[in-house]
């Protein structure tokens, strides 16, 4: 218990590696109320605010005022810490049950996320206006989900500009000077990362979908759950590529997929050079503790060995052999 109390207390301090590198550890939330859990666990901000839940289980769309009200709340509660609001990632595994949602044979490959928003510009613009208005009240970032082609990020930013212009015309307070990010969760976006980087301030890697699309494993299908392997060398090479591009292009690189909240992945993620990790708020204290016990210079040489591996299993064994003592009891819980 005393050990637990210590972890909790430490979680309110920054996570700095033994060689002095700060890594921000953020929380993922779905409901505005969960912002409290991020604070209680010492989160350095919100790395992923999944906004779809305000749209689910109703017959119409929420109004700009409804959305603004919630976003403003979250931004104010976080009191200057970054709040990353992801635009509507509807359909796929989060179905909209109203008349605007079509029956799709293959929803994961269908009209979801940014594709849906670009087809429904009014729905999109209402949300963008709400986000820009909330941004006048605190540290806000905007994140576009499921970018699979350069055109989509161009369109998204163009509509964001239109939303700002319309707020200007309406004389409402807003802030257009916010960081813009692209989720990297489709293999085509990995390949085109250098081009997409020109239009954004940060990448946030969504491993839940990236693994699904790269390894052709339905993220919700139990039959193939054993093949859903974050440590598959194909995934590791993609992460490395995206991080290298981000560094080259001088933009930030974050991860908000579940891979970021698993203790035994942390040496690898630091070795790749992640600036920020976002996860289920309850896991923040553990991840901060792991980060403090690591040395980034070591994790970089460790990455060289990781890149030689040919299977997820041998990669896991390598992690165990190299960092087993540090990870100790957490190694098998993730």
| Residue from 34, 44, 64, 89 in contact with ligand PEP (CB under 6 A) | 89
Minimum CB separation from ligand PEP for residue 274, in Å? 14
How many CB atoms are closer than 10 A to CB 280?
17
Q: What are phi and psi of 137, to 5 degrees?
A: -110, 5
* Nearest to Mg ion of 24, 86 (CB atom): 86
| Site membership for ligand PEP, residue 133 (CB under 6 A) | no
Nearest-angstrom CA–CA distance, 320 and 264:
8
Q: What are phi and psi of 240, to 5 degrees?
A: -60, -45
* Stretch touching ligand PEP by CB under 6 A, among 58-66, 201-209, 282-290, 307-315: 201-209
Nearest-angstrom CA–CA distance, 59 and 132:
25
| Site membership for Mg ion, residue 209 (CB under 5 A) | yes
SS3 103: coil
Task: Write the binding mask 45 to 84 for ligand PEP: x where contact by CB under 6 A, - elsewhere.
Answer: ---x-x----------------------------------
Contacts of 148 (CB under 8 A, 6+ apart): 186, 188, 189
Minimum CB separation from ligand PEP for residue 90, in Å? 11
Here the tokens at position 296 are: 């980034």
| Site membership for Mg ion, residue 92 (CB under 5 A) | no
Minimum CB separation from ligand PEP for residue 112, in Å? 9
* Stretch touching ligand PEP by CB under 6 A, among 7-15, 117-125, 207-215, 306-314: 207-215
Strands 140-144 and 83-86: parallel
| Site membership for ligand PEP, residue 229 (CB under 6 A) | no
In which residue are the tokens 């206006």 written? 129
Q: What are phi and psi of 144, to 5 degrees?
A: -100, 125
Quick one: what does residue 112 bind among Mg ion, ligand PEP, none, with the CB cut-off 5 to 8 Å set by partner type? none
- Cα angle: 162, vertex 168, 169; to 5 degrees: 90
H/E run at residue 299: helix 296-306
| Site membership for ligand PEP, residue 232 (CB under 6 A) | no
Are the beta carbons of 214 and 238 closer than 8 angstroms? yes
* Nearest to ligand PEP of 174, 203 (CB atom): 203
| Site membership for ligand PEP, residue 130 (CB under 6 A) | no
* Nearest to Mg ion of 206, 230 (CB atom): 206
| Site membership for ligand PEP, residue 208 (CB under 6 A) | yes
Binding-site ranges for ligand PEP (CB under 6 A): 48, 50, 89, 185, 206-209, 256-257
């Amino acid at each position: 218990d005393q050990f637990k109390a210590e972890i909790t207390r430490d979680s309110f301090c920054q996570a700095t590696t033994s060689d002095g590198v700060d890594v921000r550890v953020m929380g993922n939330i779905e409901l505005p109320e969960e912002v409290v859990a991020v604070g209680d666990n010492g989160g350095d901000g919100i790395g992923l605010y999944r906004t779809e839940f305000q749209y689910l289980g109703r017959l119409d769309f929420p109004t700009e005022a409804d959305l603004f009200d919630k976003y403003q709340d979250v931004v104010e509660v976080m009191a200057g810490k970054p709040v990353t609001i992801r635009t509507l990632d509807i359909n796929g595994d989060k179905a909209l049950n109203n008349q605007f949602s079509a029956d799709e044979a293959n929803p994961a490959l269908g009209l979801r996320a940014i594709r849906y928003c670009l087809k429904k510009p009014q729905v999109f613009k209402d949300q963008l206006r709400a986000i820009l208005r909330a941004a006048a009240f605190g540290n806000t970032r905007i994140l576009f989900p499921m970018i699979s082609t350069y055109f989509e990020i161009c369109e998204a930013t163009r509509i964001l500009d239109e939303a700002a212009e319309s707020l200007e015309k309406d004389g409402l307070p807003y802030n257009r000077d916010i960081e813009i990010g692209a989720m990297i969760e489709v293999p085509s976006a990995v390949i085109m990362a250098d081009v997409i980087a020109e239009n954004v301030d940060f990448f946030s890697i969504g491993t839940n979908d990236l693994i699904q699309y790269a390894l052709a494993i339905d993220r919700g299908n139990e039959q193939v759950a054993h093949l859903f392997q974050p440590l598959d060398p194909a995934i590791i090479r993609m992460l490395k590529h995206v991080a290298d591009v981000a560094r080259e292009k001088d933009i930030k690189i974050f991860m908000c997929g579940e891979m970021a909240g698993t203790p035994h992945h942390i040496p690898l993620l630091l070795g790749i050079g992640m600036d920020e990790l976002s996860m289920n708020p309850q896991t923040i204290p553990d991840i901060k503790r792991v980060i403090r016990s690591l040395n980034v210079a070591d994790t970089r040489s460790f990455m060289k060995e990781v890149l030689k591996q040919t299977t997820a299993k041998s990669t896991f064994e390598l992690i165990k052999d190299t960092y087993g003592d540090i990870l100790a009891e957490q190694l098998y819980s993730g």
